Structure 1
């Protein structure tokens, strides 16, 4: 059989395109879209909770500088916030 240059490429595209179309149609018919949306929603919530657990508390941000060292009060209002006076 004589093949043209584009014949192998076009048949490959047709086969993979048909398989993709069948997969998409099956996911809509059998509820795969809703399952994926539910999974992504729960996964996003889980990742947000993990991120919140690693965030510093407001007290940590007040007392610590960018490298984790205790920062000195450079302005008057910083001194008032960190002061231990009653």
Structure 2
């Protein structure tokens, strides 16, 4: 699940299909809800909105949004995948 999806879920309903996220803060609830679906079943998770905000702030301080791919050595990752065959 990407950080952009979590951030969008803080502002309103986000996602579609197998992953949907929304915050209920506007109704006085301090929870964020994450609905996960698959052919095998569904799950509804509730997490504190403040925990999601803190997570986003901390991860964006380490790796700013939009710079993620610059922190991955793609050649090394591909070599590892092919080596494991």
TM over 0.5: no
Counting helix residues as a fraction of each chain, which structure ranks higher?
1
Q: Which has the higher strand share?
A: 2
Identify the structure with bigger relative contact order (alpha carbons < 8 Å, sequence gap 6+). Answer: 2
> Which TM-score applies when normalising by structure 1?
0.31
| Bigger radius of gyration among the two | 1
